[in-house]
Amino acid sequence: DAGITQSPRHKVTETGTPVTLRCHQTENHRYMYWYRQDPGHGLRLIHYSYGVKDTDKGEVSDGYSVSRSKTEDFLLTLESATSSQTSVYFCAISGGQGADGYTFGSGTRLTVV
């Protein structure tokens, strides 16, 4: 997890409330991603960013928005949380030297009640 941190690590929220998850990196990588991980579905891409203010949708973007105002920060917002958004959310970065695989953050476990 060196160079990439997610906050909070755990969160319980109520249905209908907005929630923002934060991903912070110190690697100066260009690409940042948000995935969710659910049993039986593996990791699914929500949104990704390829630079400051440059973002695009992934496979499961409905109900989520993102912002990237600085290279180091990538925010994921659940506009109005639903129980189906209960999941583990992982941020990842890429763009470093060598292979273009990802480095993942530690994850945020979100429970919507």
| Closer residue to other proteins in complex, CB, 46/78 | 46
Q: How far apart are CA 4 and CA 27, in angstroms?
A: 8
Our finding on whether 105 is near other proteins (CB under 8 A) is yes
**Residue 42 in contact with other proteins, rule: CB under 8 A:** yes
Strand ordering across the sheet containing 73-78: 4-7, 19-25, 73-78, 64-70
Restricted to residues 6-35, the positions that interact with other proteins (CB under 8 A) are 31, 33, 35
Residue 44 lies near other proteins (rule: CB under 8 A): yes
106 binds other proteins (CB under 8 A): yes
**Distances in whole angstroms, Cα of residue 31 to Cα of each of 16, 19, 54, 109:** 30, 23, 10, 22
Binding site for other proteins (CB under 8 A): 1, 31, 33, 35, 40-45, 48, 50, 56, 58, 90, 94-95, 99-107
